[in-house]
Amino acid sequence: MKKLTKIAAFAAALCLGAALLAGCSGSNDAASDNAADGAATNADAPTLIVGLDNAYPPYGFIGDDGNLTGFDIDLASQVAARNNWNLELEAIDWDAKDALLNQGTINCIWNGFTMEGREGKYTFSKPYMHNEQVVVVKKDSGINTLEDLAGKNVMTQVDSAALEVLEDEEGQKALADTFAGGKVQTIGDYNNAFMQLESGAVDAVACDLSIADYQMSAKPDMFMKLEPLSAENYAVGFKKGDTEMADAVSKTLKEMYDDGTIAQLCEKWGEYGITIDNWVLVD
C-alpha cells in the first residue's frame, strides 16, 4: 500500500470552533492549518489514526488547496481535541483497509463507513449518520426506475457498501443480474465512476446517498437518483475488541450534538449534501 498522506492534526482542531463561527467554507480547516504549521503532537497522549479514502467527498477528499478536507475529518479533529488525543490522517487504498487495521497502521476507519453487514468484523462506535445506497443516472438517460437498469452498464466503487448490496443474495443481487454482463462493474473511486457516467461510458453509478447528493449538488442539471437500494448507517470502525476508543468516540459525538457543534458542521457542509436531518446519534 502506497502511503499517500500523513497529517498530524490535533493542534489545528482546537481552532475549529472559531472557524465554524466565522462561517468557513469546505476548505480543510481542521487539517491543512496544522500541516502548514508543522504543529507538534503530544508524545504521551493516545493517537487516533484514521484510515480514509481521500477521494470520497464530502466525507474525506483533497480540497482545492491540495490538503485533506471533509465532514468526517472535521468530526475526527474535534473528537481528538476533546479527548486530548493526537490525530493522524492516513489516506489509504480502500481495499487494504482491513489489513492496515489489523497491522496497526491505522486504528480506525472513519470515512462514511457503513456498519450494517460488517458488525462481525469490527467494533463500531454508535451509528452517527443515516445513509442509503442509491443509483444515479443522467437526467436525459430515460432511466427512471431500478427496473429500467436491465441491460445497462452500472458501476460502483470496489469494496463498497453498494457493491455488497448488489452482490448479496438477500439484497439486490437479483437486480444486478439484469445489468449488462450480469453484474455491476467496479472502479477504484467514485470520482472516476462519475466521470465515466458523465462521458456516457456507463449508464449508472450505485453509491452512497451522500455521494449522490454531492454529485447532484455540483451538477443539478445533469444527474438524478433513483429509489434507494437499501438503508443503513455510518459509524466509526475499530479493530475488533477496541471498545474503549469506540465508546469514547460515541460519547464525544453525542456531546458535540448536544452543544450545537454537529449542527454547525452540517451547515458548513450543507452545500455538499450534508444535512442535520440525517444525523442519528442523539441519545
The CATH number that applies at residue 209 is 3.40.190.10
In this structure, the answer to whether residues 164 and 271 fall within a common structural domain is no
In this structure, the answer to whether residues 106 and 244 fall within a common structural domain is yes
In a domain, 171, yes or no: yes
Sheet holding 55-56, edge to edge: 55-56, 60-62, 68-69
The pLDDT score that the predictor gives to residue 183 is 97
C-alpha cell at 239: 479493530
In this structure, the answer to whether residues 100 and 207 fall within a common structural domain is no
In a domain, 283, yes or no: no
In a domain, 161, yes or no: yes
pLDDT in tens, 3-56: 344 444 434 443 444 444 333 333 333 333 333 333 346 888 999 999 999 988
Q: Of 215, 231, 247, which residue is a domain's last?
A: 231
Query: By residue range, what is the domain housing residue 172?
Result: 132-231
The pLDDT score that the predictor gives to residue 229 is 96
The pLDDT score that the predictor gives to residue 41 is 64
Q: Residue 110 contacts by C-beta under 8 Å, 6 or more apart in sequence?
A: 50, 51, 52, 72, 75, 76, 236, 237
The low-confidence residues of the chain, meaning pLDDT below 70, are: 1-41
Half-sphere exposure (Cβ direction) of 195: Cα atoms closer than 13 Å: 7
Cα-based distances in Å from 282 to 129, 193, 231, 254, 260:
10, 34, 19, 6, 12
Taking the complete model, does pTM exceed 0.85, yes or no?
Answer: no
In this structure, the answer to whether residues 119 and 255 fall within a common structural domain is yes
In a domain, 16, yes or no: yes
